[in-house]
Amino acid sequence: MTVSRYFHAVLFAASLALAICSAPALAQKLGPDGAPNPTASSVQEQQLLNELSRIEGRIDIPDRKAAVLIQPAGRMWDYFHEVLLHWGAAIVILGTLLLLGVAYIALGRLPIKEGRSGLKLARFKAIERFSHWLTATSFVLLGLTGLNITFGKILLLPVVGPEAFTAVSEVSKYIHNFVSFAFVVGLVLIAVIFVKDNFFQRVDIEWVKQGGGFIASKHAPAGRFNLGEKLVFWLSLGAGLAISVSGFLLLFPFSVTDIFGMQIAQVVHSAVAVLFIALILGHIYIGTLGMEGAFEAMGTGEVDLNWAKEHHDRWAEEQIAKGNGPKSPLATPAE
Q: d(Cα 30, Cα 38) in Å, to the nearest integer?
A: 8
User: Tens-of-pLDDT digits for all 335 residues of the chain?
Assistant: 565 555 455 545 555 554 555 445 444 555 555 566 666 555 565 565 555 555 565 666 666 666 666 676 778 888 888 899 999 999 999 999 999 999 999 988 989 988 999 899 999 999 999 999 999 999 999 999 999 999 999 999 999 999 999 999 999 999 999 999 999 999 999 999 999 999 999 999 999 988 887 777 788 899 999 999 999 999 999 999 999 999 999 999 888 888 888 999 999 999 999 999 999 999 999 999 999 999 999 999 999 999 999 999 999 999 998 887 775 544 444 44
Q: What angle do CA 88, 90, 92 make, to 5 degrees?
A: 65
Domain boundaries, the chain: 3-73, 74-321
> Measuring CA to CA, which residue among 321, 309, 315 is closest to residue 204?
315
Does residue 131 contact residue 186 with C-beta atoms inside 8 Å? yes
Tell me, yes or no, if the pTM score tops 0.85: no
Tell me the DSSP string of 181-230: HHHHHHHHHHHHHHGGG-S--HHHHHHHHTGGG-STT-----SSS-HHHH
pLDDT attached to residue 215: 73
Q: Which distant-in-sequence residues (6+ apart) come within 8 Å of 36 by Cβ?
A: 29, 30
pLDDT attached to residue 51: 53
pLDDT attached to residue 332: 43
Long-range CB pairs of 68-71 (<8 Å, 24+ gap) are 68/259, 71/259, 71/260
Under CATH, domain 74-321 is a member of which superfamily?
Answer: Transmembrane di-heme cytochromes, Chain C (1.20.950.20)
Q: d(Cα 140, Cα 169) in Å, to the nearest integer?
A: 16
- Beta-ladder partners of 122: 302
At residue 302, φ and ψ (nearest 5 deg) are -125, 150
Q: Which distant-in-sequence residues (6+ apart) come within 8 Å of 298 by Cβ?
A: 124, 129, 132, 133, 287
User: Please, how many CA atoms are within 13 Å of residue 55, restricted to the half-sphere of its CB?
Assistant: 11
Q: Which distant-in-sequence residues (6+ apart) come within 8 Å of 267 by Cβ?
A: 77, 80
> Measuring CA to CA, which residue among 125, 96, 73 is closest to residue 283?
96
Q: d(Cα 204, Cα 314) in Å, to the nearest integer?
A: 11
Eight-class DSSP state of 195: G
Q: What angle do CA 258, 240, 180 make, to 5 degrees?
A: 70
- For 108, left (φ over 0), alpha (ψ -120 to 50), or beta? left
3-state secondary structure of 308: helix
Rounded to the nearest 10 degrees, the angle between the axes of helix 259-285 and helix 227-251 is 150
